[in-house]
Amino acid sequence: MALALAWAAKGMYLTAPNPRIGCVIVRDGVVIGAGHTQPAGQAHAEIQAMRDAAARGNDVRGATAYVTLEPCSHYGRTPPCSNALVQAGIGRVVAAMTDPNPLVAGRGLAQLEAAGIAVTSGVLAEQAYELNIGFFSRMRRGLPWVRLKVAASLDGATALADGESQWITGPEARLDGHAWRARAQAILTGIGTIKADDPQLNVRGIDTPLQPRRVIVDSRLEIALDARILQGEPCWIVAAAESPDKADALRAAGHEVIVLPNAHGKVDLPALMQELGRREINEVHVEAGAKLNASMVREACVDELLVYLAPSLIGPGQGMFDLPALARLADKRQLRFHDLARVGDDIRILARFAAPQTAIN
Ligand SMILES: NC(=O)c1ccc[n+]([C@@H]2O[C@H](COP(=O)([O-])OP(=O)(O)OC[C@H]3O[C@@H](n4cnc5c(N)ncnc54)[C@H](OP(=O)(O)O)[C@@H]3O)[C@@H](O)[C@H]2O)c1
């Protein structure tokens, strides 16, 4: 299964909105075929692994297929993998997890069992879950998994008071940040960051065939038409009101304007997360300033923080989250460290909210 997970990881940047799945077929302790999910509409991991076995002249009849998610049992963009495994005469299937997709949800394994195939599930389930955390989130909650990235000095500054922020962390951390961008299907930022930095917010330095969709929260459509982010692939610009001329100009340039107001004349962030889920975005990567970061946290739209800390002190500057002062320490927002790593000269922290959001009104 560990090998199947390694194959799944090879599909990291390829398979969205489908999950990244790997499959390894084994006979007598020898791997006779392996593969991972292809881009949406093309072959799933099981089919790839069986094709690999055939290409190598190996007979899969009676062999064991290790697959990082329950084989699908429905006609989606491709026919069911459960049928293909039965037809090929696979003897045993070991799955890391059952499929959270309500169209599958145990039916794939049940079909295999009904056809006389021995089935085991729940092997290295945690690793399999992490690899597809966004797909699981979307299937279970209708919401993407939202990861909010900040780069800060050791004393927590993300920019100088005048907005200068390039660069706080070193080249290794910045490249690592691009890998996290690449695994998301959307990168979310605010108009404040666009005005201050004029960023492109695309993936650079990572070999990926797909670029995440750039999503800009801009209540009053203030974005300049010559902003660098608008010069590449189409963006989704999320406003609180239509302002027709600007919206028309953005649409004429190929971008989409989405209007989602809240009661305060800003963008309704929980509604935006729902909309991104509907648009089959599995993982959202937030890279914004302290204002939008704080609103995202306050409105329970964030699942985890990806924090890079540089070994430097900046002094007064902009913080990570423009949150209101607390009257009682007991009201602090509690997270737990999920992963810690050293990246170049910097430290990377992955922290999750202790009580994850369950639903958004
Ligand atoms: N070090 C880092 O990791 C990092 C990453 C990104 C940015 N930055 C820095 O952050 C600074 C910009 O920060 P910022 O706080 O001014 O900009 P921001 O957080 O990127 O954008 C804030 C703007 O988003 C808009 N918005 C719309 N709906 C909102 C809602 N529901 N809640 C909150 N905001 C909403 C507001 O403007 P409207 O009401 O006009 O729409 C608000 O002013 C820059 O200096 C940049 O360099 C640092």
Q: Compute, in degrees rounded to 10, the torsion defined by CA atoms 333, 334, 340, 344.
A: 20
- Annotated catalytic residues are 46
Give the pLDDT band (50/70/90) at residue 74.
confident
Cβ atoms of residues 109 and 93 within 8 Å = yes
Cβ–Cβ < 8 Å for 186, 281: yes
- Would you say 115 and 254 are in contact if contact means Cβ atoms under 8 Å apart? no
Q: Is the CB of 187 under 6 A from ligand 1?
A: no
> Is the Cβ atom of 190 under 6 angstroms away from ligand 1?
yes
Decide whether any atom of ligand 1 lies within 6 Å of the 289 Cβ: yes
* Contacts of residue 61, Cβ cutoff 8 Å, sequence gap at least 6: 88, 89, 90, 91
Max distance between CA atoms of the chain, in angstroms, equals 70
Q: In degrees, to the nearest 5, what angle opens at C-alpha 163 toward C-alphas 181 and 206?
A: 20
Q: What is the DSSP letter of 229?
A: G
pTM: 0.94
**Are 310 and 168 within 8 A, CB to CB?**
yes
Share of the chain above pLDDT 70, in %: 98
Q: Which atom of ligand 1 is nearest to the CA of 295?
A: 32
pLDDT in tens, 152-185: 999 999 999 988 888 999 999 999 999 999 999 9
Span 172-228, pLDDT tens digits: 999 999 999 999 999 999 999 999 999 999 999 999 999 999 999 999 999 999 999
Confidence of residue 356 (pLDDT cuts 50, 70, 90): low
CB of 193 within 6 A of ligand 1: the answer is yes
Quick one: which H or E segment has residue 184? Answer: none
Q: Which atom of ligand 1 is nearest to the CA of 150?
A: 3
Q: Whose CA is nearest to atom 34 of ligand 1?
A: 292
